[in-house]
Amino acid sequence: MTATPREPTFQQAMEITAQWLGLWENGELSDEVLADRVGELVASRDGGRGFFVVSLAGDCPLMDRLPEPLVLQLRAAGAGVVDLTARNLAMSTAMVLHHRRSGDGAQQAGSERVRQRCTELLRLLEPQAVKERLETLLAASRDGAGEDVAFLQRWGYDAEQKSAISAAIEAVAE
């Protein structure tokens, strides 16, 4: 008999999240229980990545409603959640332009929804942690400086996409 891994893989985290969101949507999981489970999931990097891939991009309204217990758990999770949300903001913003250029309205709308969900979540997370993380991302997208330059280069974002990312970052503070 093998022990179950304490930290889920990225794939496991996506599957777990999809299952939990379905139960939550059907009223079979309370906001509090879901928040506790998500809190445990986002404690690891792959768990957090899996949670955000499914919850930000999916059709479940969780990230549009953001129950208070969930917000408290995501705030408590700290810098890891702030970092993943900031990166998702950047990636979804860049993809809005990519899909617009290729004429894919459905994918563009999906990326716009992810961008909006990230913006709203960042406004609810710990303000100082968000400010510091977004300043780092802004330095890379606007000035080509700092720790996030490699992140933006890895995805091959062009000047227009970086400009859109800068605007999205500034919109968080509005």
Q: Is residue 102 part of a domain?
A: yes
Total domain count for the chain? 1
Q: Is residue 77 part of a domain?
A: yes
Closest CA to 50 of 34, 32, 65, 38: 38
List CB contacts of 24: < 8 A, sequence separation 6 or more.
31, 34, 60, 62
Determine the longest span between alpha carbons in the chain, in angstroms.
54
The 10s digit of each residue's pLDDT in 73-97 is: 999 999 999 999 999 999 999 999 9
Q: Is residue 32 part of a domain?
A: yes
For the segment 24-41, the average pLDDT, to the nearest whole number, is: 96
The 10s digit of each residue's pLDDT in 55-78 is: 999 999 999 999 999 999 999 999
**Domain range for 64:** 10-125
pLDDT the model gives residue 174 = 82
Q: Is residue 62 part of a domain?
A: yes
